[in-house]
A and B are shown apart, each in its own frame.
Chain A
């Protein structure tokens, strides 16, 4: 059981990247990772970092328009974005449940609408941005994620 969560304070893109690489190295086939956070909080960037660790060489970009992108790394990686979907029915229509049981790793941006279908064992990551009127782009983030350890059981 994962009972503890860690809250990482990242002050830069590099620190966020370092967190992502450490986290990704503990992922295994069948994991479902749900990413919560506002527009622009860095969900796609986290998935890019995860995918790099997982050996994905395809271009990883935001799947908002395509809803799901499939990459091949050490195992299949499915990158979802439910931003544009309007109902749970549409989530079912794109075959979400089949992807979940396919043995690959699923990353889900904007998981809210699919909540009833997201497994209880899913790894939930929450990203909070720290807004700052003195800069054009906020670089500070608080990332809350379960404290994964190597060999952890769901």
Chain B
């Protein structure tokens, strides 16, 4: 089955073509693409999605070497996300499906993230534990089988990626915070300061708000010169605190659920320190840890095509009355 996947839930406009499980193309409109299409667009405006979506879809089809009449189904993110942005993708998907006379399927963005793992040659088979960790989400999910999930815990306040972004900002570093903090942290001293790990008792929940406040308190009670001199150390100790709790809770969930596989998904899954720590912990526990390639971790159409194809192949389609669901849960 040839499926087009469309993702517009936040600030990336993406489309991908999947043929019988093989990814033929995955186009993500980065700022470079925005430039290519002429002019910088406001990052989050749904207008930005409208301006580029048909070109992104066209490019996904071109790179896959197929025409739109070859498509057999369309998958599109219907939530969670920004209502206006979701609506753009959903409307494009419905219009195309209607004009081509093919089915479409609304996909939960979070299910997309965890289905991204299926696009890799070696991927875990359920049951397994997945840590979905990004700018907007941080949750531990038990994948009982494809399509059947139990959310074991999520963040009570900030998502992990948001903690990276905000900490970067208060340290005077650039946005997005993840890559720049990881780069600085690589040469930092892990023993410089110990930032708190939120103790939420016997749960799989997270809290990163206090960590961000702790970094701010550290910075505000020291001279600018001291902070600059120890920037790498502060980044290292902050990243350690985030990675520690993510790893500890994920492992705990995997042990409690008696699974042998752990998967990482979402933009923060690109972080090298998280991957390394998770791998060490999994190795020690006799478990395997899997993560998709970076382009499949951040928001992308391929993961939506992957999840959509799973349902479309079973004849599980969405009605044309489907509307965006900004606060959709797994």
Interface residues of A (CB under 8 A from B): 38-41, 44-45, 48, 58-59, 61-62, 64-71, 83-87, 89-90, 93-95, 129, 131-133, 135-138
**Neighbouring A residues of B216 by C-beta, 8 Å:** 38-40, 129, 131
In whole angstroms, how far apart are the Cα atoms of A71 and B329 in the complex? 13
The residue from A48, A67, A93 contacting B47, defined by CB atoms under 8 A apart? A93
Closest to B48 in A: A93
B81 at the interface (CB under 8 A from A): yes
Q: Which of A45, A62, A66, A90 contacts B80 (CB 8 A)?
A: A66
The 3 nearest A-B residue pairs measured at CB: A40-B213, A65-B136, A133-B221
Establish whether residues B327 and A58, one from each chain, have CB atoms under 8 Å apart when the complex forms: yes
A65 neighbours in B (Cβ, 8 Å): 10, 134-136, 159, 161-162
A131 and B221 CA atoms in complex are apart in Å by 7
Given A62-B209, A132-B217, check contact A94 B82 (CB 8 Å): yes
- Interface assignment of B105: CB less than 8 Å from any CB of chain A: no
Residue B212 at the A interface, CB < 8 A? yes
**Closest residue of chain A to B169, judged by CB?**
A39
Asked whether A62 and B84 contact (CB < 8 A) given A86-B43, A137-B213, the answer is no
Given the known interface contacts A68-B82, A137-B196, the answer about A90 and B44 at a Cβ–Cβ threshold of 8 Å is: yes
Given contacts A61-B158, A65-B159, A66-B82, contact A39 B221 (CB under 8 A): no
Task: Using CB atoms, name the residue of chain B closest to A134.
Answer: B221
CB A109 to nearest CB in B, in angstroms, measures 12
Asked if residues B220 and A131 are in contact (CB atoms below 8 Å), the reply is: yes
B46 sits at the interface (CB 8 A): yes
Instruction: Provide the residues of chain B in CB contact with A48, threshold 8 Å.
Output: 157
Q: Which chain B residue shows the least CB distance to A136?
A: B214
Asked whether B156 is an interface residue with its Cβ less than 8 Å from the other chain, the reply is yes
Known interface pairs A58-B327, A68-B82, A70-B327; A138-B217 also in contact (CB < 8 Å):
yes
Which B residues are CB-close (under 8 A) to A39?
166, 169-170, 212-213, 216
Shortest CB-to-CB span from A112 to chain B, Å, is 14
Q: Which residues of A contact B156 (CB under 8 A)?
A: 59, 61
Report A120 CB to chain B, min CB distance, Å: 27
In the bound complex, what is the Cα–Cα distance between A136 and B196 (angstroms)?
7
- With a cutoff of 8 Å between Cβ atoms, the chain B residues found around residue A67 in the complex are 44, 82
| Cα–Cα, bound, A59→B137 (Å) | 12
> Would B209 and A132 count as touching, CB distance under 8 A?
no
Q: Which of A48, A85, A137: most chain B Cβ within 10 A?
A: A137
In the complex with contacts A44-B158, A45-B157, A94-B82, A66-B326 CB distance below 8 A: yes
